[in-house]
Structure 1
Amino acid sequence: MLTVHHLGKSQSERIVWLCEELEIPYELKHYTRDPVTMLAPPDYKALHPIGAAPVIIDGELVLAESGAIVDYILAKYGHGRLVLRADDPDFVQFLYWFHFANGTLQAGMGRLMILNRLKLAEDNPMLLATRVRIDRIFDLVDARVRDAEYLAGSAFTTADIMMGFSLTTMRYFQPYELARCPNVVSYLGRIGARPAYRRAMEKGDPGMALLLS
């Protein structure tokens, strides 16, 4: 059976959510962050050489990287669900936003988090430039979900699953005021209403307040 090793408040929530959307059998193993360092515990780090979440085990396979895991699960268990075919008019949008999640949004928020932890002066050029870039990124997402129900268009896809963590739980590590992005707030309301999302978050991070606004 597929085993999802889930580190609380991490990108591995994407994998729990995907499994719930697909309604496939899986075993969930939960790990809690160190309360002081907020890092993964040693037994989680031992699962994979890079020591980061998420990690799945499927038979003899041990796989990390959330995007790779999403693609693997869809290829093996998805039966064409939650993705768009290359001949779909919205395929390019699907592809773009799926990769935008980690390639642009998550990377940008991670960079800002590190810069903020360095306690740089407020007028530091790198810090200011990064903040401007983050605003531009969120503005782009806001414009997209103003014009479309979901990121790929009218259909909910894995692009939404990939983006969900960075728009929500990542804000525990790098806060961002969503009041300036009303369309993102409305979009997260649609996401948060999905039964599979609710099941996934309750199973993976029970009791955690969901940052949907």
Structure 2
Amino acid sequence: MENQPKLNSSKEVIAFLAERFPQCFSAEGEARPLKIGIFQDLVARVEGEMSLSKTQLRSALRLYTSSWRYLYGIKVGATRVDLDGNPCGELDEQHVEHARKQLEEAKARVQAQRAEQAAKKREAAIANGETVADKPRRERKPRPAPRRPEAAERKPRAEKPAPQAPVEEKRTPVTDISALQVGQAIKVKAGNNAMDATVLEITKDGVRVQLTSGMAMIVRAEHLQF
């Protein structure tokens, strides 16, 4: 749609997805494993909303699934979820092992970068005639890999109740932005959905709002609702 709010970075797209699908995506904390093939589900559900393209969705999904907090969530016994939070099967051992290796490689790269930066600082200090005391770093012991419980020890999991369809609220479109006030609660329309927001500023180009995820954007009056 024309004149829809735009998301410019992958982090903004992730914040939008966490707002749009809270049972699947999260903006902070440990992330839940995603359903295999969830990209196609995303395209079907949100392509075009907030002017999102397939390229933006793919880049955001790649950033999300390569983050440390997502890799920490790929563990034995964890369950994949779809966009609505419905379980889609347990993780395979090969996926758990692949995530563990990715996490170890990422940590190794960070440690190498820190060591390189420390070496440069030490060289600079020596060049300036400063005394540098080398303090040996304590090596962290690798975390033991979790053991897969025996089949006999597993307890049957209780079935989760099917999620109830949300009751659609009746909303009134904003026709005059001059009637709005800073700090007022408002709804931002995105496709067939509306997200909670707060008015930060009223400008000649539209209304600057802040979503509950913390992201701020300028929105035109036709995308606002009471």
Q: Same fold (TM over 0.5)?
A: no
* TM-score category, normalised to shorter length: under 0.3
RCO higher in structure (CA 8 A, sep ≥6): 1
Q: TM-score, normalised by structure 2?
A: 0.26
Computing the radius of gyration over CA atoms, which structure comes out larger, 1 or 2? 2
TM-score normalized with structure 1 length: 0.27
Structure number with higher helix proportion: 1
